[in-house]
Amino acid sequence: MKKSLVVSLVSFLFLLNPFSLLGQADTSGIQHGKIYELRLKAPVKCIQQIEYDNTGKEPNWKLSDDNKVIYIEDYIINTKVKLKVVYETGREEEYSQSPCTIKLSEKQPAL
């Protein structure tokens, strides 16, 4: 009787929250070990600031050799990236890059 009550109780708890017993999935949206690319509007002289729009944290990034692409390691999916850049012409611009334009990179440069 006690054994069946315990089994019933454990089964009931499992049905209420099956992930608590199995371990929870990573819901942070971070794409661990993957490199994403953000294409710039034009070649830049330098990146003055780069950060996630919602947190203000700076991602791990690298500028491509041609100064047209930013590679981001462990990008947080569906997150805008805020940039402050200086183009090769000397013009400065601050803008946010939409997550729909940030793609998984075919190249996987070391960051």
List, in order of start, the domains of the chain with CATH numbers: 27-104 (2.60.40)
- CA 103 to chain centroid, in Å, comes to 11
The pLDDT value given to residue 60: 95
Contact 69, 38 (CB under 8 A): yes
Q: In this predicted model, what pLDDT tens digit does every residue of 8-62 receive, in sequence order?
A: 545 554 555 544 444 443 446 777 789 999 999 999 999 999 999 989 999 999 9
Contact 66, 23 (CB under 8 A): no
Compute the average pLDDT of residues 68-85. 95
